[in-house]
Every structure is written in C-alpha cells, then in structure tokens.
Amino acid sequence: MFIQKMKREDYERILRFNEVCRKEEKYILVKMKWIKQHFIITICQIIYERKNTSFLE
C-alpha cells in the first residue's frame, strides 16, 4: 500500500485503468481523492497477468 501525488494526466490514466479493471473484474480498484491541489492515490492491491507492467507508464 502506498500513497502518491499525481498529475492530472496520471489521474485520468488511472480512471481509464479502473474502467478496464471493472470490465475484466480481475483487479481491486484504485481509490482516489483530491487533496490540496494534488490527486492522491491509494492502491490497496493490483494484480497483473503480465510481469513488468505498470499502469503509470
């Protein structure tokens, strides 16, 4: 579990990632909040089928 400050592009990327995850029903979704001009992301768990994959890349 970690918390990371995000840029708006990253936030939008996470939203798209969440949509994909919701459809595939294979992931625990990302929780996001807007705090003091920064998107804060808390990831509980993300499971990938492929290794060396990052949804922030």
For the stretch 1-57, pLDDT in tens is: 455 566 677 777 777 777 776 666 555 555 566 555 555 555 544 444 444 455 554
Which residues have CB under 8 Å from 6's CB, separation 6+?
14, 32, 38, 39, 40, 41
> pTM for the full model?
0.34
Task: Give the pairing type, strands 2-6 and 31-35.
Answer: unpaired
**Residue type, position 6, single letter:** M
Task: In whole angstroms, give the CA distance from residue 41 to residue 30.
Answer: 7
**What would the 3-class secondary structure string for 13-39 be?**
HHHHHHHHHHHHCCCCCCEEEEECCEE
pLDDT at residue 15, as a whole number? 75
